[in-house]
Copies of this chain bind each other. A is one copy, B any other.
Amino acid sequence: MQNGDQKLPGQPERQASKAAEATYKLAEQIGYLLRQANQRHVAIFTSRMNEKLTTTQWAALVKLRDLQPCSQVNLGRETAMDVATIKGVVDRLAKRNLIRTAPDTTDARRLVLTLTEEGEAAVARNLPVAHDISEETLSTLSPAERAMLAELLRKIS
């Protein structure tokens, strides 16, 4: 019930506080803008990607095509996924026979991942779709704006 917030009398207000309170608008915050933009992209992705693939599943498949054979943790690193997250993604893709998992013969810790035939086909089949999804997400921007957005996002990552 109590807030440990009381200030000593006579002590000056926190300098940043007043200004921040006056200016802080949720809809202008970078976190909110990022979340909104991402939401729209995911919505486009979901409605366009015919097979039931999520953005992260697609990322894992595409990246694995380049890296295979590849350990689970390494695929996670390359797709910016936590170990627990990549495990779930891999498990679901393996259950759908898009990915094959096998123990590494030289390093017993590792789980070696490869695309199945079906997985390779799914990637090849959906590359044009994925391209169109990126295109639609950026459809309101000029080529120069697209390049600028990509650069700015990279700069804050």
- Chain B residues with CB below 8 A from A29, complex form: 130, 134
- Chain B residues with CB below 8 A from A135, complex form: 1
- Taken residue by residue from 100 to 127, chain A's Cβ proximity to chain B (1 for < 8 Å, 0 otherwise) reads as 0000000000000000011001101101
Choose from B33, B42, B118, B124 the contact partner of A1 (Cβ within 8 Å).
B118
Interface of A is mostly: helix
B35 touches A35 (CB 8 A): no
- Chain B residues with CB below 8 A from A26, complex form: 59, 62-63, 79
B16 touches A132 (CB 8 A): yes
- Chain B residues with CB below 8 A from A41, complex form: 30-31, 34, 156
Q: A141 with B125: in contact, given A24-B131, A133-B31 (CB under 8 Å)?
A: no
Question: How many Å lie between the Cα of A42 and that of B130 in the bound state?
Answer: 26
Which of chain B's residues has its CB closest to A3's CB?
B121
- Other 7 A-B pairs with CB < 8 A, given A3-B118, A23-B131, A137-B156: A30-B146, A30-B149, A31-B134, A34-B37, A40-B157, A149-B156, A152-B152
